Copies of this chain bind each other. A is one copy, B any other.
């Protein structure tokens, strides 16, 4: 999970716009919600982009769908493969189904049963392997060679970054005159795509990334001026335990994204606020953005702020409070 990943070219703003057109027939135009209570609490005017209401319950469908529909017919006929068994795996399965092509998802021993069931229900072919990153990558490579399926990486992929950027593009169309935008940072697919999209529309927009203190590699990388190496994550935000991709990190630096780190306790408190005030089921990773706004109010006070709520795939029988 924390192994360095190969660089992939950053998408241009035009590629984000192309992605938006490409996924339009399949993706949900997710609503933007507001809350008087959360505005009062933060002193800011908050606009929540509800990607937990996206197909598959996460923004990941955008990138996966753009990748699936970017391929030519010949390549597409051989299917797609990924070694993510989380939201990206599910998203790729759903996206492949929109084109009627095969999706191969590598799943490590010990993966959460409900997530696997969802991926299988979406029509994917599951391939089991050991629970190490090396085993997953080896298995993906094996499937790729055997089938000719195209590897779609969860974040180090130009098509995926462009697709994720459509979340910000859409938000900026729905909410006029934003001053700032904040997304969580995991592998950086969303953060990099949204930075490109946001500055393509509004070059002066201030960009922020929320990161758990237990997986603050992007914050440390930005502070150091270069990407730090693999680390052991310690956070309940299961979507954000990944080392940021090399190109993804470059995008954050180029676009002057400021990282704000939050503790899991702050994230859980924010998650409760989102459930109670916005009436949304969001997963911990999503709540980091509100936690960050509440932790650094001086950055956001009096401003119009866009926040991307990334997903809602959480076990409602094992809530973290």
Contacts and interface: CB of A to CB of B under 8 A. Distances in A.
Interface of A: 31, 33, 36-37, 52-53, 55, 57, 121, 272, 275-276, 278-282, 312, 316-317, 319, 321
A321 B121 CA distance: 24
A39 to B, nearest CB: 12
A280 B282 contact: no
Nearest to A279: B312
A55 to B, nearest CB: 8
A191 to B, nearest CB: 22
A51 to B, nearest CB: 10
A263 B255 CA distance: 55
A190 B223 CA distance: 55
B279 A275 contact: no
Contact of A280 (B276, B279, B321): B279
Copies in the complex: 2
Name the residue among A275, A278, A281 with the largest chain B CB count within 10 angstroms: A281
10 closest A-B pairs (Cβ-Cβ)? Answer: A279-B312, A31-B31, A279-B281, A52-B279, A275-B316, A275-B281, A57-B279, A53-B279, A281-B281, A33-B53
Contact of A321 (B36, B278, B281, B317): B317
Nearest to A316: B275
A35 to B, nearest CB: 9
Nearest to A54: B279
Contacts of A31: 31, 53
A272 B316 contact: yes
Given A280-B280, A280-B281, A281-B281, A121 B275 contact: no
A31 B53 CA distance: 10
A320 to B, nearest CB: 11
Contacts of A52: 279
7 contacts: A31-B31, A33-B53, A37-B121, A272-B316, A276-B281, A279-B282, A280-B281
Contacts of A321: 316-317
Contacts of A317: 321
Nearest to A32: B31
A275 B37 CA distance: 22
Contacts of A272: 316
A282 B57 CA distance: 16
A263 to B, nearest CB: 20
A57 B31 CA distance: 16
A43 B94 CA distance: 19
Contacts of A33: 53
